[in-house]
Structure 1
Amino acid sequence: MTAGPVGRTYQDSTPWWPEPPRPREGAPDVIVVVLDDVGFGSLGCYGSEIATPAMDGLAGDGLRYTNFHVTPLCSPTRASLLTGRNHHAVGMSLLSNADSGFPGKRGTVTHRAATIAEVLRETGYNTYALGKWHLAPMDQTSAIGPYDQWPLGRGFDRYYGFLEGISDQYYPELVQDNHRVEPPRTPEEGYHLTEDLVDRAIACISDHKSVGPDKPYFLYLAMGAGHAPHQAPEEYLRRYRGRYDEGWDVIRERRHARQLELGIIPPGTALAPRNDGVHPWAELPEEERAVAARLQEAFAAMLEHTDAHLARLLAHLERIGTRQDTLIVLLSDNGASQEGGRLGNTNSIAYENGDEVSHADNHARLDEIGGPRCHGNYPWGWAQAGNTPLKRYKQNTHAGGVRAPLIVSWPGRVAGGGVRGQFHDVIDVTPTILDIVGAEMPRTYRGLAQLPVHGMSMRYTFTDGATPTRRTTQYFEMYGHRAIWHEGWKAVAYHERGTAYEEDRWELYHLDDDFSECHDLAAERPDVLHELIGRWWSEADRYDVFPLDDRNFAERAAMYHSAASPRRRRSFVLYPEMSRIPGGVTPLIYDRSYRIDAHVRLRAGDEGVLISQGDVNGGHVLYVAGGRLHYEYNHQGTRYRVRGDRDLPPGDRVVSMIFTKTGPRQGVAALAVDGRSAGGKEPITTARYLIGWQGLVLGRDALSPVSWDYPRGFPFTGTIDRVCVELDDDIPDTTHETFD
């Protein structure tokens, strides 16, 4: 409707109202559920013994895809999922924890690639994001932003979740919209992040349908499960006690047989041989088996717990009468994780620093696995079972890293119980949804010319499972591992970190006949292999894959920060009124000398935490207790304690901890009051790249505790004026260091 004439008064003017944007008639509500590190063979409807009845129900009234592919890592998959473009092309080659200084490795999603939320919002949808984000550069996630890569800056109307790639399920660092908030309850009060996220999802949908019942919404629900730490309520942990004592060999064979029975894998599909480093279960020492089984129990309990709360969400849709009009897409972001190592581990920071948790340390924490005191991750053997029948894992470009479960449910529009074998990729999800709602990616968005959409709609598969795939080619790359799929063939190269790429051996598989990549045809069909390798280099050049980089993400994150990054500073003055500083913005104290000076006002009997950073995995804390100053450095669970040797006098004081580096990743810690020695000189071994996942706060230890030596939280009862952190320049030059 065009504007009517506007006269001097309303009597000689014609009113008009602009038409709001509207999606296609009958456009559905859309919910995209993203699981984390859940391998191809981990859901009940994909052959697992883990109880996932809600997800199985979605598959029962919808479609299961068996040839669906993702990137081998979380941030890249999410970038591709939300934009419909290849991850290097939008700037997310690896994780959003580092900008390596190259176009494809910015650790952020370029604004030249609008997200589905940005497009749907302009089409007339409301947009909600809940859970894991991991698409904003970590040094841009503090209270000063910038906020343009936070969910609200990328098209979502509301957000509640965590910005990092990993979260403690009992003590999450939560963000609501553009500000940080504390969890609504404690673990002692029954808090768990999965329950909280589903509560928020139900609340968002209820708000939406109560006020705008005819307006559709897009809900992006990115669960923490099943990324480590694997944590679940005790009742769920108890359900799996003893169920994995038979070991990964037996479980993997059962899943393989079940997949054949369900038609999830083609008849005759071989079970891939054990990955390197995975030992037969029967050959493991009894105590190793006990720890490994307990770690798998925690993963299974977490996945079943997640499924139970997804069932709550589905029941809510049924209750309000909108389930029939809701398109639900459920997928995992990559294959099962190898990050637990050969033995599994009970400290996720150790993995990031390149260290293995010893079996003795794991076994000592056996009864803590799955609970709030432990960040556990299962060993390689269980990860391979999670990827049944495939080889390798998350981070790799073999099928175990990139072939993932995908379920599409849309009652009345998608045939129930179908299995689809067409090759598709995560870049195809956004084009599919846009096709359904009648929207298109714009050529220009907010003044910026947009990258072309690299994916295509999968809608043609909804009604016809026999139609050949319309895809022809898809490349893969992660940490130097490379692969390409083209018209049913796949060439793949596993890369050993630190070696020359020319030394990598390319394998060749005809996936139409070899689902699990077991029969290498490289020697038999060198002509096909040569053509595919050349095609990979061409695709890599086209999508900004270069330069290849095989360094660990923590190593990159410790080195590369833009000139504007707060992590480039050596001097910090912190005030008690500040909100939590996330881990990606905290002072870089790693492998260098530093000091902490807390300017405080003390009364007799005052005590509590002055400054804390980190969590149960690792961190450090300066606090007052028993009238004396204390410092604890938690290095991957090994705790170094420094206790003051004299009482603190009341009044205005400067209490200090001075760490002096004495060698690579080691030094001594000393305490001081008003510049005078107050004890210490204790030797400490320090972190290499990461001290802990959680951030820094003043005046308390509010979430996952750094220390067990004081009451939970332990708020400071005196007055903090400010805390100063000074970093020395004796940090090593690691610009060209290789990760070992």
Structure 2
Amino acid sequence: MSEDLVDQALKIIADFKGVRPDRPFFGYMPFGATHAPHQAPAAYMEKYRGKFDEGWDVVRERWFKKQIATGVIPPDTELSPRNPGVQPWNELSENERRLAARLQEAFAAFLDHTDDQIGRLVEGLRKLGQLDNTILVVHADNGASQEGGPFGVMHEMKFFNAIFETPDQAIANIDTIGGPNSHTNYPWGWAQVGNTPYRWYKQNTHEGGVHVPMVMHWPNGIAKEQRGTKRDQFVFVADIVPTVYDILGVTPPTVRKGLEQMPVTGHSFKSFLNDASAPATNTIQYFENGGSLAIVAGEWKAVLKHTAGQPYANEKWELFHIAKDRSETNDLAEKDPAKLDEMVAHWWEQAEIHGVLPLDDRGVELFGARYRKNSPHPEDRRYVYRPPMSPMPSQASGGLGGRNVDVIATVTYKKGDEGVLYATGSQNSGVSFFVQNDRLVLDYNAFGDHAIIESSSVIPDGDHEFRVKLRRGDGMAGNLEIEIDGVSAGSVQVPLYMRMISSLGPSVGYDHGSAVSTRYAAPYEYTGDLHEIVLESSRAKPDVASAEAKAEMNRQ
């Protein structure tokens, strides 16, 4: 996908500048990398084979020393201690070390491949004659992920289905890591390495969750002697837009098309692009994520790591003088309670100004599907899709996991028609409903275990209603059935009825990703006349709603 994003971006820019060379362009390229799953071409995987066998303790120390040597962090920065749950590398078993090292290799290969794609974008802009006058900003969205747990995961969707593989079990499939049949995420130990020298991870408001690198490239606007230099002033993501406006001389309108506009937040940092000694322009910044809180004001930071459902009154704010303690290792809350009170007051003030209140640490209710009017999820849980349609995101479409669902295809059929009617997921896990050899087929792919139903009789010519009935049973089991015009054409019981199926959403009339079923090559577009697909869904049970919310949070 990273390669295709760059290909399409360069094509769009070339088209636009070819037709209107007098107009500027704006491009936004949100790479999926390096979000899980960590996958990379085989040559990139091979490049990193064995590179992390020394383990996360040795690598973290090396990276920390390099950060100091290259001026990324001040020389007096302390390396924060291990996060809770991160074991010393030499205390892991052999299988735990082998699995963890390979998972980190996949992450590194993925990152390297992405870096090459950014290089392709830069070279493409150069060839188009647009590089020198383009403001190019590259940054990460958050700190390294903690969703891989203490040992890492081979397939995140298995995790959300409460299927937990131990390293001794997962090691049998170690050679699939990084390839198309893997859906991996690395363990806490490597995530903490990625956040060196900071504490905690993505989702937290400590530096390990919110402090990320940013690179800005603009040859026509940044003086030659300043290119390649570093800046240490505080910058928040909301400062990028006002900086670009400042550079371009744009004043955002207060009213547009008769509608009052919300003010643009953030502060331009144009002043220190060519003056490293210029003061920071953003001197107070709040953070809130999943109920965890933080405030940076000048040289100080206060932070609270929240546990969902716990009263804030029972949780402890920490106080750090980050101008001297970049890695948040010396909590001054007890030594300077007056400063802490001042910082906490700043947080509440900023939260009020920016609409953060009331605090809300819910998960299922916020990130799960909400059935209501004027949304992708209708109140009656009846979804109607008519082709042709583009592939849909899983969070904006009807779910098949963990609940009772009917998938109904209305078609006009003639002998020889074939192809996918409805498919969701990928070759790793998914559900595909298709016609092949004049028979109706369902392939229920539960992490490589394919339960297949093929109609016992051929489909006659004419108008038909094809139906898949997915029914959740006791425990982890379920029952699958296909019908043609209300008559059962086959059924099967499955030992694993998936609660969460895939991070890849559905497509109507074809299979847009890697093929869910081994019985065809994607996209295997339906050749007949497919009128519509209808999904009729029951309410999800609490464990499904919780799994969906966790998976959705993990996509952020």
TM-score, with structure 2 as normaliser: 0.88
1:244–1:641 CA distance, 2 compared to 1 (3 A): same
Q: Once the two structures are superposed, what CA deviation does each residue of 1:613-639 show, in whole Å capped at 9, x if it has no partner?
A: 22245322223456654433334x263
Q: 2:2 aligns with which of 185, 194, 197?
A: 194
What does the per-residue CA deviation read over 1:62-89, in whole Å, with 9 as the maximum and x for residues that have no partner? xxxxxxxxxxxxxxxxxxxxxxxxxxxx
- With 699-708 and 381-390 compared, the bigger mean Cα shift is at 699-708
- Structure 2 distance, partners of 1:649, 1:735, is 35
Residue of structure 2 equivalent to 1:693: 503
Does the C-alpha gap of structure 1 residues 221 and 627 become closer, same or farther in structure 2, counting only changes over 3 Å?
Answer: closer
Following TM superposition, by how much is the alpha carbon of 1:480 offset from its aligned partner in structure 2, in angstroms?
0.7
Corresponding position of 2:515: 705
Report the equivalent of 2:89: 281
Separation in 1, partners of 2:12, 2:373: 39
Cα distance, 1:664 vs structure 2: 6.7
Residues in 2 aligned to 1:598 and 1:410: alpha-carbon distance in whole angstroms: 53
**Residues 388-436 of structure 1: CA deviation (Å, up to 9, x unaligned):** 1111111110001111101222336241232211122111111111111
- What is the deviation of 1:358? 4.4
Corresponding position: 1:504 with 2:300: no
**In the TM superposition, what is the alpha-carbon distance from 1:528 to its structure 2 partner?**
1.1
Aligned to 1:491: 302
Deviation at residue 571 of structure 1 after TM alignment: 3.0
Offset, 1:218: 2.8
Aligned counterparts of 1:392 and 1:599: Cα–Cα separation in 2: 51
**Residue identity opposite 1:691 in structure 2:** I
Deviation at 1:260, TM superposition (A): 0.7
Distance of aligned partners of 1:469 and 1:344 in 2 relative to their CA distance in 1, 3 Å threshold? same
Alignment of 1:536 with 2:536, yes or no, is no
Residues 488-534 of structure 1 deviation map (CA, whole Å, 9 limit, x = unaligned)? 11111111223222222211110011011111111111111122122
> 2: CA distance between counterparts of 1:722 and 1:320?
44
Matched, 1:255 2:63: yes
Residue in structure 1 matched with residue 135 of structure 2 by the alignment: 327
**Counterpart of 2:368?**
558
**1:703 partner amino acid:** G
Decide whether the 8 Å contact of 2:514 with 2:522 is kept in 1: no
Q: Contact between 1:640 and 1:684, CA under 8 Å: does it hold in 2?
A: no
**Unmatched runs of 5 consecutive residues or more in structure 2:** 551-556
Instruction: Please state whether the residue corresponding to 1:323 is helix, strand or coil.
Output: coil
Partner of residue 657, structure 1: 468
SS at match of 1:430: helix
Aligned partners of 2:418 and 2:437 also within 8 Å: yes
Superimposed CA distance per residue, residues 225-282 of structure 1 (whole angstroms, 9 cap, x where no aligned partner):
2222222222222111111111211111111000010111111211111112212222
The CA RMSD over aligned residues, in Å, is 3.0
Structure 2 equivalent of residue 676 of structure 1: 487
Q: Give the CA deviation at 1:474.
A: 0.7
In structure 2, relative to structure 1, the CA distance for the partners of 1:640 and 1:324 (3 Å cut) is: closer
Contact persistence 1:642–1:669 (CA under 8 A): no
> Matched residues in 2 for 1:533 and 1:500: separation?
16
Q: How many residues align?
A: 544
- The secondary structure found in structure 2 opposite 1:595 is strand
Equivalent residue runs for 1:521-532 within 5 Å: 521-532=332-343
Q: Quote how far apart the aligned CAs of 1:605 are.
A: 6.6
Shift of 1:735: 12
Contact 1:601/1:650, CA 8 A, preserved across alignment: no
The reply to whether residue 265 of structure 1 matches residue 76 of structure 2 is: no
The aligned residue for residue 242 of structure 1 is 50
Instruction: Write the letter of the residue equivalent to 1:329.
Output: V
Where 1:219 maps in the other structure, the secondary structure is coil
Percent identity at matched positions? 41
Question: Aligned ranges for residues 404-415 of structure 1 at < 5 Å?
Answer: 404-411=212-219, 413-414=222-223, 415=226
Q: TM-score scaled by structure 1?
A: 0.68
Q: In 2 relative to 1, CA 626–360 (structure 1 residues): closer, same or farther, beyond 3 Å?
A: farther
Change in CA separation of 1:517 and 1:629 when aligned onto 2, cut-off 3 Å: same
- In structure 1, the residue corresponding to 2:87 is in which secondary structure? coil
Q: Of 151, 158, 165, which residue of structure 2 is paired with 1:343?
A: 151
Equivalent residue number for residue 554 of structure 2: none
Residue 368 of structure 2 aligns to a residue in which SS? helix
**Whole-Å Cα distance in 1 between the matches of residues 543 and 151 of structure 2?**
29
Q: Name which structure has the greater RCO, CA cutoff 8 Å, separation 6+.
A: 1
Aligned twin of 1:297: 105
- Counterpart amino acid of residue 206 in structure 1: A
1:455 to 253, 260, 266: 266
Following the alignment from structure 1 to structure 2, what is the Cα–Cα distance between the partners of residues 736 and 669?
A: 21
CA displacement at 1:212 relative to structure 2:
4.3
Shift of 1:665: 6.5
Match runs of 1:105-120 below 5 Å: none
CA contact (8 A) 2:368 2:545 kept: no
